[in-house]
Chains A and B, each alone.
Chain A
Amino acid sequence: MKHHLNIIIIALRVVLFVAAIMCVFNLIQAYGFIQTDDPVAINEFFLNYFTAPKLSLGSLEQLGARYFFNIKWLAIGFTITYTALLVYGITGIIRLYKCLLKIEKGQMFYNEQGAQFRKVGATVIIFAKLKYVLFCFTGILSYLDISTFFKQLPAFLTLYLVGKLIFIMSYITEKGEFIQEENELTI
């Protein structure tokens, strides 16, 4: 039990570290986009996430102009929104991390554990939904990339199911909390 928990705790630490790095990277990117007006850099950045149509860069800019937005501000908006979303996700991971640390210390069921797990589940599900919407929205606006709807689906479904599993865990812990209290108060 403790061995499995240790592995999950280490994995969560790695996830937290990676998410924090991604936040910093995104903020640096956003700052870079604000400072410079380099469509090639923006194009390269978006190519990390989306598939570009087979058009020249000039055509892409025209495409952007046709859709009444500035690709530069779309990139800035995307990076900042994604960072905010990651920060929101990090708060959920930290909450889960604290719950697991308490379980590792031997407190199998404790007060407010169910509520905390429910909050973590809700955070994961909201994060999954918002990330899916953000990526689809940006994919469509930047490159008219409809395939994003399908490409983001596995990541969305995985996170969504993880969130639902954590929700189920919250019900189990609530029940466990109740049974433990009853057991402790049985003379």
Chain B
Amino acid sequence: MPIIINLDVMLAKRKMRSNELAEKVGITTANLSILKTGKAKAIRFSTLEAICEILECQPGDIMEYIPEKET
């Protein structure tokens, strides 16, 4: 998928653990792991809002669009 999740980078910048973020956002660590590994098919606005609020960042900071290269 051309949408890349940079949640790891933001977590490292804020020196926060995944468990802590999951707990504060109100999702399970398994779901956060799905999001971090890029397996998620969609993200709710409420989840995105909570993540941005806790990490004090913009949606663009945790995800970016990289076009797929034509083979």
Residues of A within 8 A of B43 (CB): 186-187
Chain A interface residue count, CB cutoff 8 Å, equals 5
| Chief secondary structure at chain A's binding surface | mixed
- The complex places the Cα of A187 from the Cα of B27 at a distance, in Å, of 8
Contact residues of A between 148 and 187, Cβ < 8 Å to B = 181-182, 185-187
- Give chain B residues whose Cβ lies under 8 Å from the Cβ of A185: 34, 39-42
In the bound complex, CA of A64 to CA of B24 (Å): 86
Enumerate chain B residues within 8 angstroms of A186, measured Cβ to Cβ: 40-44
Closest-by-CB residue of B relative to A181 is B41
Instruction: Report B4-35 residues with CB < 8 Å from chain A CB.
Output: 27, 31-32, 34-35
CB of B47 within 8 A of chain A?
Answer: yes
Nearest chain A residue, comparing its CB with the CB of B39: A185
Enumerate chain A residues within 8 angstroms of B44, measured Cβ to Cβ: 186-187
Give the chain A neighbours of B42 by CB distance below 8 A: 182, 185-187
Q: With A182-B42, A187-B40 given, can you name 10 additional A-B contacts, CB distance below 8 Å?
A: A181-B41, A182-B41, A185-B34, A185-B39, A186-B41, A186-B43, A187-B27, A187-B31, A187-B34, A187-B47
B interface, CB within 8 angstroms of A: 27, 31-32, 34-35, 39-44, 47
Ranked nearest first, the 8 interchain pairs of A and B with the lowest CB-CB distance are A185-B41, A186-B42, A187-B35, A187-B31, A187-B40, A187-B43, A182-B41, A185-B40
